[in-house]
């Protein structure tokens, strides 16, 4: 049997093309179960890498092989992202993470070039200042969730949607994918969310959110038999809401806010997720519990909320007690006793 790579049309596929296709389809989508959005992000990183070789190294895509991709090439690619494409350090690091994932996998697929792949994996991420973790205060969150007009059918839907999004700390896509089957509204009430990598987690629901969901499902006749697989939140065409649709609902009510700080905040579904977690941490919920609610695999990912909360408290304390501790100290070189002691040494 021939070991040559298969042809794609009239052009022989390179080893890079063959392995990249397997990585994106069989490995990421099949074995790892990554979400379509994550796979698209990885795909876009490699599209840029291919463009870099074509435009900067005069290597057309049909001639790009694994042998041409080494430490110097990847380093040049990362520099090109920042200089020519004006990418931030954060975006550069995201592209590097996709490259690292590919070459980590390639070590098991092509052991003969393992040393080269490990050299690429040793390329460090670029340090950058992390932006402050944006979130709403408890009062701002309460104001936002109270804005839908609960005397109307659409307002009741939106009030229930916002409450569920906040209470579960769900990602927008997780809320969009929520079906009637995923809700348990008997005590203890909970929602089953399906997150990244198709991993599921059970998130408890507060009593008020549960009451809103019970009334909403009854009004929409979703509590009847045969509706288990219907989306909980849907548009006028009875199709599940998209992430963009959920974001639009949030912005619609934000525009009605009387509080200028809330009206002018950078608000998105993810900000509500951050807000719920910050509120949990501030009242003393342990980080391992918060990690499970968020669906994080590694506790270190969740620790950013602890750091953000600590920094916010430090700034608040500094603002409140500016004059209690002073830095007034005598100049050491004006202290004759100290000078005499030093001279005697």
Which residues are tagged catalytic?
Answer: 171, 196, 270, 273
9 phi/psi in degrees, rounded to 5 = 70, -125
183 phi/psi in degrees, rounded to 5 = -105, 130
Cβ density class 41-74: b for 16+ within 10 Å, e for less: ebeebbebbbebbeeeeebeeeebebeebeeebb
What does the block give as tokens for 39? Answer: 């796979």
- Strand partners of residue 240: 234
Strands 7-8 and 11-12: antiparallel
**In angstroms, rounded to a whole number, what is the distance separating the alpha carbons of residues 52 and 58?**
9
- Pick from 252, 282, 245: nearest CA to 267: 252
**In angstroms, rounded to a whole number, what is the distance separating the alpha carbons of residues 155 and 210?**
17
- Strand partners of residue 7: 12
Residue 320 CB-half CA count within 13 A: 6
**In angstroms, rounded to a whole number, what is the distance separating the alpha carbons of residues 192 and 274?**
19
- Pick from 200, 194, 205, 135: nearest CA to 163: 205
Residues 56 and 5 sit within 8 Å (Cβ to Cβ): no
């Amino acid at each position: 049997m021939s070991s040559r790579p298969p042809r794609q049309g009239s052009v022989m596929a390179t080893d890079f093309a063959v392995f990249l296709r397997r990585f994106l389809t069989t490995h990421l989508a099949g074995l790892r179960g990554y979400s379509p959005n994550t796979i698209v992000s990885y795909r876009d990183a490699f599209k840029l890498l291919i463009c870099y070789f074509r435009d900067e190294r005069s290597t057309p895509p049909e001639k790009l092989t694994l042998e041409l991709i080494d430490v110097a090439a990847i380093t040049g690619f990362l520099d090109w992202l920042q200089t020519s494409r004006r990418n931030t350090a954060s975006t550069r690091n995201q592209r590097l993470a996709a490259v690292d994932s590919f070459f980590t996998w390639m070590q098991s697929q092509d052991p003969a070039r393992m040393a080269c792949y490990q050299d690429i994996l040793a390329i460090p991420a670029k340090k950058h200042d992390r932006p402050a973790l944006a979130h709403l205060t408890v009062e701002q969150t309460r104001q936002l969730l109270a804005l839908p007009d609960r005397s109307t059918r659409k307002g009741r839907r939106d009030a229930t949607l916002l409450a569920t999004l906040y209470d579960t700390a769900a990602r927008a896509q997780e809320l969009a994918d929520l079906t009637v089957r995923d809700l348990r509204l008997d005590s203890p009430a909970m929602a089953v969310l399906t997150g990244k990598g198709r991993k599921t987690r059970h998130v408890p629901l507060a009593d008020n959110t549960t009451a809103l969901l019970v009334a909403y499902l009854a009004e929409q006749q979703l509590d009847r038999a045969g509706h288990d697989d219907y989306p909980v939140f849907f548009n006028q065409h009875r199709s599940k809401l998209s992430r963009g649709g959920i974001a639009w609902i949030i912005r619609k009510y934000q525009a009605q806010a009387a509080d200028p700080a809330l009206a002018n905040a950078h608000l998105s579904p993810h900000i509500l997720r951050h807000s719920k977690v910050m509120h949990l941490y501030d009242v003393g919920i342990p980080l391992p519990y918060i990690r499970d609610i968020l669906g994080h695999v590694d506790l270190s990912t969740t620790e950013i909320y602890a750091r953000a909360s600590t920094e916010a408290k430090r700034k608040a304390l500094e603002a409140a007690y500016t004059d209690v501790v002073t830095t007034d100290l005598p100049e050491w070189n004006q202290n004759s006793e100290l000078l005499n002691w030093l001279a005697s040494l």
